Amino acid sequence: MANETSSVKNNNNMQAQAEDTGKQSGGSRDTAPLKKFFLDALKDMLWAEKALVTGLQKLQKVAASEELADAFETHELQTNKHISRLEKVFDMLGEKAEAKKCKAMEGLLKEADEIVDATPEYSATRDAAIIIAAQKVEHYEIASYGGLVAIAHTLGYERVAHLLEKTLMEEEDTDYMLTEVAECHINFEAVQEDAHEKVTA
């Protein structure tokens, strides 16, 4: 048991040293393709987060519910923090912070625009629909950061993993909070709108 503990400690020290020098803890040949993938995925997320800032600003403007608009504003502020964290991660790895177009985020934001166009202005129905669009974005981010945290650990980048984990938790909290807003008020208000339409049709 004691040996196991000291070997874990040694491993952690090696990882810390590897991080300090910006190198992988394993043999560079073994982890080079994984490190390249990791960096590419970080660049993808940097683009995604930057695009999301604009996306969230648009959603704030079209949300009918003040609570929902506030939720989007709060997450816009967090998203700016996510960008700063990614820039810090690139810095820690001794790499340039470059953004690479994220086709998934581009598609998700396009879909959000289409949802806005297809729903009545300032209605609870639109709010219910844009919550789902925003949650699709959060789920994409959760899957991406979840995977990146795991790879950061594998590569021995513990401090990088810690930073990415903070972002991951904020994405998860946002997803949870959007579910609350939908289920506590907005979905109920949206169904009332439908009922009203049926009566007056």
Binding interface with Fe ion (CB under 5 A): 49, 79, 82, 141, 171
Nearer of residues 166 and 196 to Fe ion, judged by Cβ: 166
Say which amino acid occupies 198: K
Q: Considering the complex, what minimum distance in angstroms separates the CB of residue 45 from Fe ion?
A: 8
Contacts of residue 72, Cβ cutoff 8 Å, sequence gap at least 6:
56, 59, 60, 63, 134
Indicate if the alpha-carbon torsion angle 91, 95, 100, 104 is positive or negative: negative
Residue 52 and residue 96 in contact, taking contact as beta carbons nearer than 8 Å: no
Q: Considering the complex, what minimum distance in angstroms separates the CB of residue 185 from Fe ion?
A: 21
Residue nearest to Fe ion (CB): 82
Nearer of residues 127 and 171 to Fe ion, judged by Cβ: 171
Ramachandran angles phi, psi of 59, nearest 5°: -65, -35
Nearer of residues 16 and 177 to Fe ion, judged by Cβ: 177
Q: Considering the complex, what minimum distance in angstroms separates the CB of residue 145 from Fe ion?
A: 8
Q: Considering the complex, what minimum distance in angstroms separates the CB of residue 20 from Fe ion?
A: 27
